[in-house]
Amino acid sequence: MNLRRRTIFSALAAAGALTLGLSPPTAYASEPIALWARAETGSFLTPLVEAYNKSHERQISLTLVPDAQVTQKYSAAAATGSGPDIAIIEIGRLPQFLASGWLQDITSDLAGLPYKDALSPAHVSQGELDGKHYALPLSADVSVLYWNKALFKAAGLAPDTGPKTWDEIRSTAAAITKTGNGNFGYFFSGGCGGCMAFTMLPYPWAQGAEVMVGEKANFAGNKALGDSLQLYRDIVKDGSTPNTAQTENGANQFGPFFSGKIGMFVNGTYPYVELKKSHPDIDFGIELVPSKDGSGAASFAGGDDIAITKRIDKATGMEVLKWFTSEGQQLLAQSGVLPIRSDIAQADYVSLDPRNQVFVDALKYGHIPKSPEVNAIFFDNSSPFAGLVQAGIFGTGPIDAALNAAQSAADKITGK
């Protein structure tokens, strides 16, 4: 009996060892392809995956990871080699995963794509490390300047033309605020580091400045960034923003403009779609965020890239990536979502609404701070950049001192 028990135990142990130790790390060909993405992408990604599954035998199983858990879940997957076969990663966070060995090198595959030059340059750059590419662009969200035409008219301004210089932005904001009735000229989410990066950094970028140089933040002595903070400080000093601008932490970043009481704000494609769908009474225009004298323009290029992990063979993975960057982009464009390919954008997206051209142009001028530490330096609400926004815009001390303090805080993070 004892011998029999021992034999059964040994057999079970051997089976367990085989299961744990000898099973292949890659997904089986008959299994669905596991695709992970952040929950925020669900609105356009779910129909895209449904379309893919209709036309392919091997199905995709989509998992939407809650936004607050993305860093933890993706990092755990990257550290252990578990998780998805294909990962859709927000491009701000992408650099932190490039050196982990989680994603497959697709440099030669990218070079062989006939549409490689039409892909959003900022998205392609975010997926590159030491000359090797690990991801392709998937979705884009670019920041542009919105203006409310009714409020422009009420302030005696030409409603069909947005401000072209920083001085015009300031004077327009003041003129709209003067109309009273609870109207304010300009709005921004000053309590949200990520929102401010998305909406304010285009100003220094339009001046030709960079906010990251190599591995380091570039705050101290950054004149263009200092001038941008001064513009915002002046707008606040003029009383052209509601006082909620200082503390708005991203939860209500669109609400004030949607209420029809805000003259201008900088934001991405989401409010554009939402305004057209749910607030047709608000007549608005969009344009690129201008440089100080109007001679240049810039935008923050956000969105997601798509990459193949080492859990799946590259040929299968590339088949998925090629579909998402070709047929998938056409479907997105036709449904009114900005595609990451300029050729498809011109053919299928701009024709839907002439204003769409502004977003297509913004993709060309798109920037994003590239660093594995970007979240800690810019996007988090207690980041050095978030502190810089508070001190630089709402503080009373010299802006140069605020820039120096932010530089010192950022250096502690990059030098850890």
Partner 1 sequence: MTLVSKGIASRPTTERRPGGTYGRVARRKAVLGAALMAPAVLLVGGIFIVPIVMSIWMSVSKWPLLGPHHLIGLDNYLRLFNDASVWRSFAFTAIFALIVTPLVLVLGLVLALIVQKGRPGIGVIRTAIFAPVVVGNAAASYIWLALTDPGAGLVGRLLTDLHLTGAPPNWLLSMASATTLVVLAVLWKTIGFSMIVLMNGLNGIPNDIVEAAMMDGASRARTLWSVKLPLMMDSIAFVATFTFIGALLTFDQFYIITGGGPDSTTVSAVYAIYNTAFTQLNLGYASAISIVFMILILVLTVFQLRLFQSRSS
Site of interaction with partner 1 (CB under 8 A): 71-72, 75, 78-79, 96-97, 99-100, 191-192, 242-244, 246-247, 249, 251-252, 255-256, 259, 372-373, 375-376, 380-383, 386-387, 390-391, 413, 416
Backbone angles phi, psi at 91, to 5 degrees: -70, -20
CA atoms of 406 and 220, how far apart (whole Å): 8
CA atoms of 204 and 213, how far apart (whole Å): 14
Q: Compute how many other C-beta atoms are within 10 angstroms of the C-beta atom of residue 105.
A: 13
| CB closer to partner 1 out of 85 and 373 | 373
**Partners of 299 in the β-ladder:** 366
Smallest separation, CB 387 to partner 1 (Å): 6
Smallest separation, CB 261 to partner 1 (Å): 10
CA atoms of 383 and 388, how far apart (whole Å): 9
Among residues 85, 93, 76, 80, the alpha carbon closest in space to that of 309 is found at 85
| CB closer to partner 1 out of 97 and 146 | 97
| CB closer to partner 1 out of 287 and 373 | 373
CA atoms of 58 and 180, how far apart (whole Å): 60
Q: Which two tokens stand for residue 128?
A: 């590159």
| CB closer to partner 1 out of 326 and 381 | 381
| CB closer to partner 1 out of 139 and 267 | 267
CA atoms of 326 and 333, how far apart (whole Å): 11
Smallest separation, CB 381 to partner 1 (Å): 4
| CB closer to partner 1 out of 73 and 178 | 73
| CB closer to partner 1 out of 242 and 296 | 242
CA atoms of 85 and 140, how far apart (whole Å): 22
Smallest separation, CB 341 to partner 1 (Å): 30
Q: In the chain, count of helices (H) and strands (E)?
A: 20, 15
Smallest separation, CB 378 to partner 1 (Å): 11
CA–chain centroid gap for 200, Å, is 14
| CB closer to partner 1 out of 368 and 391 | 391
| CB closer to partner 1 out of 66 and 156 | 66
| CB closer to partner 1 out of 109 and 248 | 248
Residues 6 or more apart in contact with residue 161 via CB below 8 angstroms: 285
Smallest separation, CB 191 to partner 1 (Å): 5
Smallest separation, CB 321 to partner 1 (Å): 22
Counting other chains too, the contacts that 347-353 makes at CB distance below 8 Å and 24 or more residues apart are: 353/276
Residues 6 or more apart in contact with residue 59 via CB below 8 angstroms: 32, 33, 53
Smallest separation, CB 382 to partner 1 (Å): 4
Smallest separation, CB 247 to partner 1 (Å): 4
Q: What is the DSSP string of 158-184?
A: -TT----SHHHHHHHHHHHHHT-TT-E
Q: Which H helix or E strand runs over 107?
A: helix 107-111
C-alpha distances out from residue 24 to 85, 303, 311, Å: 14, 33, 9
Residue with tokens 């135990």: 9
Smallest separation, CB 76 to partner 1 (Å): 9
What burial class does residue 411 get, using C-beta atoms within 10 Å of its C-beta: 0-12 exposed, 13-18 middle, 19+ buried?
middle
Smallest separation, CB 38 to partner 1 (Å): 15
**Rounded to a whole number, what is the largest CA-CA distance in the chain?**
97
| CB closer to partner 1 out of 275 and 376 | 376
Q: What is the CA radius of gyration of the chain?
A: 24
